[in-house]
Structure 1
């Protein structure tokens, strides 16, 4: 099945949306967490932004996969870190379990792979959060991206001032 092409209006709105979404998520995470390891925490957020704004019609770019995929991945990653002392083994097990759960719940979102690995190898800033990592930054970043993506979708469809 070919990927649905985007009009010039959709591409422009998506680029602007991705910029503002990642800016807001980065600002939020930095303000709340004051994390020294910001790029590691936001790697999956950037990957999600590329998907939901770059190919918004894809099944992996829909609201449930975006939010559910990240939440499942964060939970599995934190759990694996807590239960398996070897980070390489913990990351590998976590990837497989997260993939299985995303498939079984219908929320496959590939950037969840970065979330699950970040939960395992993200360092002291992530590990100190424990299961709070699921809420801050993962859940809030997903909601920020989703909110801006929904606004962009409305703009892409209805703004008469953008010419294709």
Structure 2
């Protein structure tokens, strides 16, 4: 390989490496394991409590499917504005309410699905509670044909609050302050 070909190849790799994760920050193995263990413990706690509450209430829906994505934000990126308690709890709850409303009011899934996601995003903007997994909560409500607003409170709001509590406990015990305190 000639020198100019090596230089061109290096240039191309450097220039386009972000397509293969080259823009991701380096993370220590300690932090990787700390985050993964936290997500495991937090989700195990939430799932255990949700199962118990399901048995007490006899409610079929007891876990929100997008909880894993919320856990990623809370345990891996606790400093993100989208991982803060208001964003997680209000974003997920609002989106569930929007999704249930769309499932009730719009008979065509082709219209109800994008409408649920779009309206939940608009609502999160308005309430300043952007949480990306919450848009999936709205879609899940429509896809699941969920037509009772109780779903927004249990499992969605309860699971979100439990995740926040476990995330705060774990993060603070392992040296990561959570939730963020606003600058003074």
Matched, 1:153 2:175: no
Distance change in 2, residues 1:36/1:74 (3 Å): closer
CA shift at 1:31, angstroms? 3.4
Matched, 1:68 2:90: yes
Spell out the pairing of 1:8-157 with structure 2 (5 A cutoff).
9-33=30-54, 41-123=63-145, 126-127=146-147, 130-157=148-175
Distance in 1 (CA, whole Å) between partners of 2:36 and 2:103 is 35
Distance change in 2, residues 1:107/1:4 (3 Å): farther
* Unmatched 5+ stretches in structure 2: 1-22, 177-184
- Asked which structure has the greater CA Rg, the reply is 2
CA shift at 1:13, angstroms? 3.0
Number of paired residues? 151
**CA RMSD, aligned part only?**
2.3
Distance change in 2, residues 1:87/1:27 (3 Å): farther
TM-score w.r.t. the length of structure 1 is 0.80
CA shift at 1:3, angstroms? 7.5
Deviation digits for residues 37-60 of structure 1, max 9, x if unmatched?
A: 77xx43211110011111111111
- Contact kept? 2:88, 2:129, Cα under 8 Å: yes
Whose relative contact order is higher, 1 or 2, with alpha carbons under 8 Å and at least 6 apart? 1
Deviation digits for residues 106-144 of structure 1, max 9, x if unmatched?
A: 110000011101111124xx44xx111011100110011
Distance change in 2, residues 1:37/1:62 (3 Å): closer
Identify the structure with the greater helix proportion.
Answer: 1
Deviation digits for residues 75-108 of structure 1, max 9, x if unmatched?
A: 1001111111112311111111110111121110
Distance in 1 (CA, whole Å) between partners of 2:26 and 2:134 is 25
